[in-house]
Amino acid sequence: MAVNKKTFDSPFLVDPSKLSRLRGVCLEKLGENVREEYEVASSGDENLKLSSIDDVTSLDNSKRQRIKRINIQYTAGNNSININLNGNWFTYTSISVTGPSKPWTLDTFSKVEEQTERLLQSDIVARARPWIGLSSIILVMWGGCVTSTISSPSSRMSHKDTLWLNSKDIEELKQSINKPGTDPVATLLDIQKRQISNLSAFETTQAHSKIIVTKHTIFGALPFVAVIVVTIYMLIACYPSAVFYWGDAKEWYDRIVERRKLLWWGVVIGSAVGVLGNFLTATITPTP
């Protein structure tokens, strides 16, 4: 006997039409006298063994009895096909084909694999759910880096670099020194007065700037914090990894899709507000 197996560690969304198409391919390859077995496990710890796909897709699939796993077994003599759609803890889909010869097994496995891949969710975010922890850290670091740009010190030249003399002072002192008969002592006293005056003005402005920067840092960070919180919530609550799309679960999943569309718009708007807030902060914050 030849056996081929494969496991897909990806989220899946199963609807009646795709499940029916998968069944059709399996029955076509197995031929006549196929025995069908469907083992269904739900969130209410209820396990059902059914013999018809119509019985499976006619289940209520309610909130209390949400389907979590379906194990499908098709058997004809010594040939068998098994598909396990598991959404209990670690979501995965496995397929196994057993047949009398390697060519038949490989051909059957290829066709079953093709139909099984159609059940897997193609959404990039849904596939990235196992990386929620890493995504959260990256988002926090991103928000911190953007926020830090608000409170970072200005790169402009400080008065310290010119001995607390501004350009106007330097120009006036040059003219005073170049005048004939200038008293050196008076010039030194003038320099000291200017330095003390500039230092005093700088200290006053610096204290006021710290208050302004602190307020703008807080308000500038709020949009990014909101974006991080909303994104993490969406990854956890708005991207179910296993969906059996019939019964009550159909309406439940449709509401989730609508909700995450709105939340993604919130993320985009929140990011835009954060960038605009940072720009305005950098513009209006006085530089000593």
Residue that is written with structure tokens 């991207």 in the block: 239
Contact between 244 and 61 (Cβ < 8 Å): yes
pLDDT of residue 102: 93
pLDDT of residue 55: 96
pTM over 0.75? The answer is no
CA 70 from chain centre, in angstroms, equals: 29
- Which residues are registered as beta bridge partners of 184? none
Residue type (1 letter), 33: N
Q: Read off the pLDDT of each residue in 125-153 and give the average, rounded to a whole number.
A: 56
In the numeric block, which tokens belong to residue 271?
A: 């990011």
Percent of residues, the chain, with pLDDT higher than 90: 43
Strands 47-50 and 35-42: antiparallel
Look at residue 250 and give its three-state secondary structure: helix
Alpha-carbon span 276 to 258, nearest angstrom: 27
Spell out the alpha helix ranges (H) of 7-62: 16-30, 53-57
pLDDT of residue 283: 59
Q: Is the pLDDT of residue 74 over 70?
A: yes
Class of domain 2-121: alpha beta
246-283 b/e (C-beta count within 10 Å ≥ 16 → b): bbebeebbeebeeebeebeeebeebbebbeebbeebee
DSSP labels for 84-141? EEE-SSS-EEEEEEEESSHHHHHHHHHHHHHHHHTTB---HHHHTGGGHHHHHHHHHH
Closest CA to 37 of 52, 27, 47: 52
DSSP labels for 2-22? EEEEEEE-S-EEE-HHHHHHH
User: CA gyration radius for the chain?
Assistant: 35
pLDDT per residue over 199-219, tens digit each? 777 767 665 555 555 555 666
Closest CA to 94 of 102, 85, 103: 85
pLDDT of residue 93: 96
Please report, for the chain, the start and end positions of each structural domain, with discontinuous segments joined by +: 2-121, 127-284
Q: Read off the pLDDT of each residue in 153-170 and give the average, rounded to a whole number.
A: 58
Please, which residues have CB within 8 angstroms of residue 39's CB and are 6 or more apart in sequence? 47, 48, 49, 50, 69, 70, 71, 72, 73
pLDDT per residue over 222-275, tens digit each? 767 777 777 778 878 888 999 999 999 999 999 999 988 888 887 767 666 666
Alpha-carbon span 274 to 230, nearest angstrom: 14
pLDDT of residue 148: 53
pLDDT of residue 52: 95
Q: Is the pLDDT of residue 284 over 60?
A: no
pLDDT per residue over 85-128, tens digit each? 999 888 999 999 999 899 999 999 999 999 999 999 876 666 66
pLDDT of residue 288: 47
Look at residue 245 and give its three-state secondary structure: coil
pLDDT of residue 194: 76
pLDDT band at residue 150 using 50, 70 and 90 as cut-offs? very low
Q: Read off the pLDDT of each residue in 46-70 and give the average, rounded to a whole number.
A: 95
> Which helix (H) or strand (E) segment is 148 a member of?
helix 132-151
